Amino acid sequence: MFVFVGGVSPHAVSRDLPARECPACGAVGAMQERRVDSDLSLFFVRVLTLERGAPFLACTRCGWTSMAGSGGNGAPAAGAVAQGPACPHCGSDVQRGWQWCPFCGGPLW
């Protein structure tokens, strides 16, 4: 008898961009390039990346991301209001006061 214990799960990947300035708050060194990959896990160990997510920019200070409400070039669209906080693992928009991300399940502290 063969039992397969595994599945596909999201995996957040981030890379610091020390010389980049945040277009929303102006902080230098707080920007990261992030993406969320889909990985195959076997017995809770990542084995293979099935799909690489689309990269986006995120500020670790103010929570701004280039995903929604941006002009597509890493700068906010004209008249855009600064976004709320973003999940540090998957980059999804979350509300202040939440302790867990409803999209990836990661902690928000």
Question: What total number of domains does the chain contain?
Answer: 1
Looking at residue 67, what DSSP letter applies? S
Calculate the alpha carbon distances from 46 to 41, 50, 89, 102, 104 in Å. Answer: 4, 11, 16, 22, 16
Q: Is residue 29 part of a domain?
A: yes
Model confidence, pTM: 0.55
Establish if 55 belongs to a structural domain: yes
* Adjacent-strand bridge partners of 13: 35
Over residues 53-65, mean pLDDT: 87
pLDDT of 27 above 80: yes
Domain extent at residue 16: 6-59
Residue range 19-48: average pLDDT?
87
Is 86 part of any domain? no
